[in-house]
Every structure is written in structure tokens, then in C-alpha cells.
Structure 1
Amino acid sequence: MTETATPLEECEAAIAKACKISGRKREAVTLIAVSKTHPVDTILPLLEQGQRVFGENRVQEAQDKWPGLREAYPDVELHLIGQLQSNKADDAVALFDCIHSLDRPSLVKALGKAMEKAGKQVPCFVQVNIGAEEQKGGCPIADVPRLIASARAAGIPVAGLMCIPPADIEPAPFFALLDKLARDNDLGGRSMGMSSDFETAIMLGATHIRVGTALFGQRG
């Protein structure tokens, strides 16, 4: 890349390279620009460059930032990538196009009711606690098939699996495990990989990568 390349152009080049190395098509990987904590004026340049898929962590923050932006850019796709409280299910279904943090039976129940009430089906990724970390959200690995089945029974479209590997450990084995879990459960989506490791995630099957720092710099 040239010295004048934008962060988005640099990220796109890295995605394309990882796809080429792994024999995948570029369109097989969705870049989610993680705009959590970033204000509207830092999101606008990415929108102007053509980025259309964004990720937010909190329902309230997204409600504050995105209605106006979506009026100007109606083709934006908004993903919820942070933990979701069951009492926010109605708001999440109304606002988001995809939810990446379905991780427990109570949330299955809340989202199923919210989608039925809204007459809107929002694809969801089942978040897996891939490193069995007590401090992290996510469904235990052993419970994944049961949670998928209950989500489908509740009328929730299950798009795939999502994970956040443990910090400061080589992520490749965790990505490979999520890929295997997705295949074992006949799921096409794998939401995995962030700014520091998305190339590895792509080479191990990621369909959705969640990139913040590489596009926006350090969060404020």
C-alpha cells in the first residue's frame, strides 16, 4: 500500500491477501467496522469511503448515534457485537440487522418473543465461550448444540457461531475449534477475528471479522 492509503484501504488489502492465501473469495468475508465508543464524526469518513457494515457494543449508544446516520446512508447494516441484556431484546431487534451475542436460554426466550412481536427475524450468532473463561460471556462449548436447537425452536435464525479467544494466547487453535464446532452443527457463519488477528481468523474460516482499532485507532 502507498503512504497515502487510508486505514480502510490497508485493512481491505490485508483481507484480500488473507483470502488469496487461503483460497477464498474476498466476498466470503464481511468486514464489520467496530464503531463502539467512536463519535459520528469519526464514523462518517468510513461511510464516505463506502464501508457499510458496522458493529456496536451497546444498545443505548447505537440508539443515540445511528438513526441520523441511517437516514443519510439507508444501506448501512448494523450488528450488535456486545453482550445483550434480556430486557433490551425489544430495542435490539428494532435497531440491529444481526446480533452476535446470543449466549443463554433466557436471551433465547427474550429474543424469540421480541422477534415475534416485531414481525422481524434478526439473524443471530451463538457466542461460544471458546476459552472457558469465567469472566467472559458465551455459551459453554458442551451446551452449544442445545442452545442452537432452542434458538431455532424459538424462531430465531441462527447465522453461525461467534467467539473472542483468550487474550495474549495464540488465537489460531481457538479459531480452528470454532470452525469445527460450526461444521459439526451445520452452520455457515463464523464471527471471529479482530484487529490483531483477523488475517489468521480468515485463513481458519472466518466469515465475519470485527475490526475496530485498525480502522479507527485506539478508542477514546
Structure 2
Amino acid sequence: MGLEDITRRIRAAEAAAGREPGAVTLIAVSKVQPPDRVEAVLAAGHTVFGENYVQEAQAKWPAWTARHPGVSVHMIGPLQSNKARAAVALFDAIHSLDRVTLARKLAQQIDEQGRSPQLFVQVNTGDEPQKAGILVDELPGFLTLCAELGLRPQGLMCIPPEDGDPAPHFALLARLAADHGLPGLSMGMSADFETAIAHGATHVRVGSAIFGARDYG
């Protein structure tokens, strides 16, 4: 495992799906990883990273991005509405736009700061009550609200249920994105990114398979 191996597998999955090389963006999920591991991936030339926590990202990424021009940081975890200001200032993309209150806060901050991160709407494809995300039936209305607020989502994101085949969820998300003219599909993680690529993923989120197991101690 490692960056080189994951990149090779992504290129192979693109080819198997008949897609152009480089069609898929690898988000290296660096949350709770030791600095030396992240710095090694930066040194290898990788430029797209994902974080789950605003406070953690604030503590480490400004210094790294200053030293590595062209690096982008994506928010891939749940985003509290009261962190919208910091998120708009820090992140180049937010993959977890998942409710009306957050949409309003992000619209306000984008207007105030004059900075527009890419936005992905998180869809609860499994209709799981414990999981964040817009329900499938509510997606058209939510996208209409986003447009009214001046938000222009780039795509959709999902996290399939842990138990079961992720492929139907990836297929559903791809169909929803196509129906609404959204080009981005943020789906697929370490265990299933090749399946996601086969269903059209444009962004895959891979962490421990690149950096090694996380130490939460």
C-alpha cells in the first residue's frame, strides 16, 4: 500500500471503465495522521488532501500550503454550521453540504469573504436515520434552495451503508448527478474506490491505505 500503489490502481480502474487517465482526483485523507507521513506525501508531489475536522486542519494546513503552492485541502467530514466561516476561509472544497441551515451559513460566508470553495451535496442514499445527508426525494428541492441562495454545487457525495454492496448507491448517485446536470461525484473510499470509479466517481477519498493506520491515542 501507499501513494504509488493507490495511484496505480486508480489509473487501472479508469482504464477498465474506459475513462481518460487522470479523470479521477485522489483525495489523500490526512486526518489524524502524523506530520511526517503527510509531509512525505507532499514531498512525493501529491496536491489534494482531505480533512474531517476544521480545528485540526486550521492547526496544520496554512503552514503546509504556504510551503507547497498548488496544494488544495478538502473538507470531507461533517461540518458544524458555526464553523462555516472558518471552513470557507480554509478549504478549497466542501464535500459535506448536507442541510438547509448549513447552506444558508455557507452562502452568507461566501458572500462576505468573496471566496467560493467547490461544494458537493451529501446525499443519504441509504436513507439511514443516523447518517447525515439530503434524502433522495428531497434533493431537487434542496438544489433549488441552493440556487436561490447563490450556491452552485459542483456535484454530489455519498457514503454507502457499511454493510452491503456499495455499487447500487454509487449508481444511484451517478444517476442523480446526471439528472441535475452536476459533473462531480465524490464517492469511494479505501475499500471500494475501484467500484466507485467504474460508476463514474470523479473524486475518491483514501486515507490509511496511503498513510498507514491512524493513531487516535
What interval of TM-score do these two structures reach, taking the shorter chain for normalisation?
A: over 0.9
Task: State the alpha-carbon separation in 2 of the partners of residues 209 and 141 from structure 1.
Answer: 21
- 1:8-61 alpha-carbon deviations (Å, 9 max, x no partner): 110011001100010001221000000011132110010111110000001100
In the alignment, the residues of structure 1 paired with residue 178 and residue 62 of structure 2 have an alpha-carbon distance, to the nearest angstrom, of 36
Deviation readout 1:71-109 (Å, 9 max, x if unpaired)? 111211110000111111010000000000001110110
Structure 2: how far apart are the matches of 1:199 and 1:189? 16
Following the alignment from structure 1 to structure 2, what is the Cα–Cα distance between the partners of residues 63 and 204? 33
CA RMSD of superposed structures (Å): 0.9
Give how far 1:174 is off: 0.6
Q: TM-score, normalised by structure 1?
A: 0.95
The aligned residue for residue 47 of structure 2 is: 52
- 2:155 equivalent to 1:145: no
Q: TM-score, normalised to structure 2's length?
A: 0.97
Aligned residues: 215
Contact preservation (8 Å) 1:190, 1:208: yes
Partner of 1:188: 183
Equivalent residue for 1:108?
Answer: 103
Q: Tell me, in whole angstroms, the C-alpha distance in 2 between the residues paired with 1:40 and 1:145.
A: 41
Kindly state the Cα deviation for residue 207 of structure 1 after the two structures are TM-superposed: 0.3
Native 8 Å contact 1:93 1:115 kept in 2 = yes
Distance 1:152 1:190 in 2: 19
Does 2:81 correspond to 1:86?
A: yes
Find 2:207's aligned residue among 205, 209, 212. Answer: 212
Q: What is the alpha-carbon distance in structure 2 between the residues aligned to residue 200 and residue 45 of structure 1?
A: 28
The DSSP-based 3-state class of the residue aligned with 1:121 is coil
Amino acid at match of 1:213: S
Runs of 4+ in structure 1 over 2 Å off: none
Structure 1 residue identity aligned to 2:91: F
- 1:176-208, CA deviations, whole angstroms, 9 ceiling, x for partnerless residues? 010001111111000000000000000000000
User: What is the aligned partner in structure 1 of residue 92 from structure 2?
Assistant: 97
AA matched with 2:105: A
Distance 1:219 1:134 in 2: 27
The answer to whether the 8 Å contact 2:11/2:22 transfers is no
Q: Is residue 21 of structure 2 the alignment partner of residue 35 of structure 1? A: no
The match for 1:135 is 130
Q: CA deviation at 1:168?
A: 2.4
> 2: CA distance between counterparts of 1:120 and 1:39?
29
**2:14 match:** 19
CA contact (8 A) 1:55 1:79 kept: yes
1:213 and 1:186 mapped to 2: Cα distance? Answer: 33
Cα-to-partner distance string for 1:135-187 (whole Å, 9 max, x where unaligned): 11111111111111211221222010000000021111110010001111111
In structure 1, distance between residues paired with 2:197 and 2:30: 21
Q: Which segments of 5 or more consecutive residues in structure 1 lack a partner in the other structure? A: 1-5
One-letter identity of the residue aligned with 1:210: R
Range moving further from structure 2, 139-148 or 106-115:
139-148
Q: Percent sequence identity over matched residues?
A: 52
Native 8 Å contact 1:123 1:156 kept in 2: no
Shift of 1:217: 1.7
